[in-house]
Every structure is written in C-alpha cells, then in structure tokens.
Amino acid sequence: MEEQVPEADGAEGPGGGGPVIVTRGLVKRYRGTLAVDGLDLTVPRGSVFGFLGPNGSGKTTTIRMLMGLIEPTSGTARLLGEPMPRAVRTVLPRVGALIEGPALYGFLSGRDNLLRYDAVDPTADPRTRAARVGEALARVGLAAAAGKKARAYSLGMKQRLGLAAALLQPRELLILDEPTNGLDPQGMREIRSLVRELAADGTTVFLSSHLLDEIEQVCTHAAVMSRGRLITQGTVDALAARSRLAVTTPDPADATRVLKEHGVTDLTTLDDKVTGELPASDPPDLADINAALVTAGVRVRAFGVERASLEDVFVSLTGEGFDVAG
Ligand SMILES: Nc1ncnc2c1ncn2[C@@H]1O[C@H](COP(=O)(O)OP(=O)(O)OP(=O)(O)O)[C@@H](O)[C@H]1O
C-alpha cells in the first residue's frame, strides 16, 4: 500500500526532481510526551500532500521541525534536499509557510501589512516591492479589499492575506498548517481552490488537516498520523482504492457465513449491512458470491462493491474513530 518514492540524495537544486520533504526516524519528545515517534515521511515534488491526523497526533510538531523552528530529539529532516535545521538560511527563502495563523497588524491595511512583511525580508528587492505586493494580493483575490484595515477582514480573508505573505517571493514549496481551521464553508472553499491553483502552477503544497474530506478533495497524496506515528502514506487514490463488498440483507448472520466461505475477510455488520474485504489475489467472481447467498436462503436487498473513503482507511488502520470536530 505504501508508495515507494526515491530517496533524496541531498544534491538536487531548485527545479530538481527529488522529493521536497524527507524525514527518517524523526522523533520529538517533550518531557513525558512522545509527540512524533520515528517518522519516515517522503513528499514527492509536484504533489499536493495532505498531512492528516486528529488533533494532537503530532502534525504541528512535525511541521515545526521541518521549518527548523524546533530541534528534533533524534532522526533527520531534509527540506528541498537540504538538512534541517542546519540549512535554515538557504532553504527557507524557497519555502512559503503559514503556521498557526498569520501575524497581522489589525490597524494596517492588507496592502500595508504585506509591504511591511516584505520590508523585513532581507532578500526582498525594495524596487519591486509594490508590484510584488500587488501581484500577491491579486493572486489570493484580495485586490479589491487591499485598502481595508486587516482587523475588518473575515477569518478567511486573514488566512488569504497570510497566504499572500507566503507568496511574495516565488516558492518551490508551501507548508500550510491547518489552513482552513476555523473558516466557514465559503472560506474553506476559497482556500481550497487557491491551493489547487497554486499546485496547478507547479508549487508543491504540503498541508496539514484533521479533515478527511478536505484531503480527499484537494490532495494528490496523503500521510496519515495517529499518536505521533505514521500509519500510512501514498497517493490518495491508492489509499482510498481499497474497495469493500457490501451486502444489505435482513439475514446478516447467514450472509456473513457465506461470505466467509468465499474468502471475504474483515467482515463487519452494521444493522442490515454486511461489508468485507475481497481477497486481493484470485478474487472470486461476484456473480458466484451473489448466487451462493441466494442458494443459502439469504435474502439480498442490495449487493455491490463500495469504494472506501479515507475515513474507512483511517478507521481500519488505526481501529480508532476519526471523531474530531470539523
Ligand atoms: N511545546 C510542547 N510542550 C509539551 N508538549 C507538547 C508541546 N507541543 C506539543 N506537545 C504535545 O505533543 C503532542 C502532539 O502535538 P501537536 O500539536 O504536534 O499535534 P497536532 O497533530 O498538530 O494537533 P493540533 O492540530 O491540535 O495542533 C500533543 O500531545 C501535544 O500536547
């Protein structure tokens, strides 16, 4: 299930094809708490990579290590092929980040906030500042609201302004920590479509989320975290490709027995619906299974194969519900 991605050799430069993030055995221990526990993460260039897990599963701690904000207890992290935190100064200018909400001055307009951001960036050319700020505002759809004070912005507009700040320079990688957290559905849609546009322009986007449907909607790849550990990683299609046979019947016990006889595993019953995993190698003909159910006197109301959601995958891999508030 896990996708094999080539190892980073650490030698690629801008535009190289290697993974943009590679961690090996990454650990962060806070007094008493193992926040990140031996993480091996590989984020392919060009992906929209969803870093998924319930609150407290170690996502923010991982991002803080990737950005060189905190030191790992052990293990290694490479960003754009360079070791972190050692290469912070050369790597971070190539990475845009939005972590824990943007720091904004409410009394300044959106435009003035960005001008200020740009002015404290030693690598930013003051001669092109106004033009770059204008482009970044247009990019996130805030051109018309650029003169408004930031304190009058909605939460979604503040998040977009934060993204504009991350986009003042061309970036190879964007790291966004829970970019839609706290936003209303409209704000979420705006950020998600912006992420898709940025990805279409060739920026690799790594975003953390505790929202499964968000990952399914915007991401090409995902890693699933639970209690500091990586549960799985790969393409979203591959993660959700596990399909399950579902039989709706008033006779679930008999149906379960017949399905088991035909090699169906991991059988679960919820009310009148029995679902199970078909054997991956040499799968039985579904017509034969259906006939066997009927022959055994099982009354079948519905019969078919259902595509698993990421939520199904999470629950089946961790045995836990994904019951955090959206
Ligand atoms: N500075 C810290 N000191 C002590 N424990 C910490 C610290 N930061 C995080 N933790 C703990 O580490 C674990 C992982 O937290 P982390 O914030 O990385 O998770 P998360 O998946 O990002 O969740 P959330 O979405 O709630 O931020 C939690 O148990 C948290 O309480």
130-186, pLDDT tens digit by residue? 999 999 999 888 999 999 999 999 888 898 899 999 999 989 999 999 888 888 888
φ and ψ at residue 301, rounded to 5 degrees: -90, -40
CA neighbours closer than 13 Å in the CB half-sphere of residue 50: 29
Nearest CA to ligand 1 atom 18: 58
CATH of domain 243-307: 3.30.70.100
How far, in Å, is the centroid of ligand 1 from the Cα of 314?
Answer: 20
Average pLDDT, the chain: 87
Q: Is the ipTM of this complex over 0.85?
A: yes
Residue 12 clears pLDDT 80, i.e. is over it:
no
* pLDDT value at residue 123: 85
Cα separation, 246 vs 263, whole angstroms:
14
Of all protein residues, the one whose alpha carbon is nearest to atom 31 of ligand 1 is: 56
Residue 14 has pLDDT above 60, yes or no: no
CATH class of 21-239: alpha beta
Cβ–ligand 1 distance for 58 under 6 Å, the answer yes
Q: What is the pLDDT of residues 112-135, one digit of tens each?
A: 999 999 998 888 899 999 999 999
Cα distance between residue 183 and residue 188, in whole Å: 6
Domain ranges of the chain: 21-239, 243-307
pTM: 0.79
Q: Measured from the CA of 210, which atom of ligand 1 is nearest?
A: 25
CA-nearest of 209, 204, 198, 221 to 94 is 204
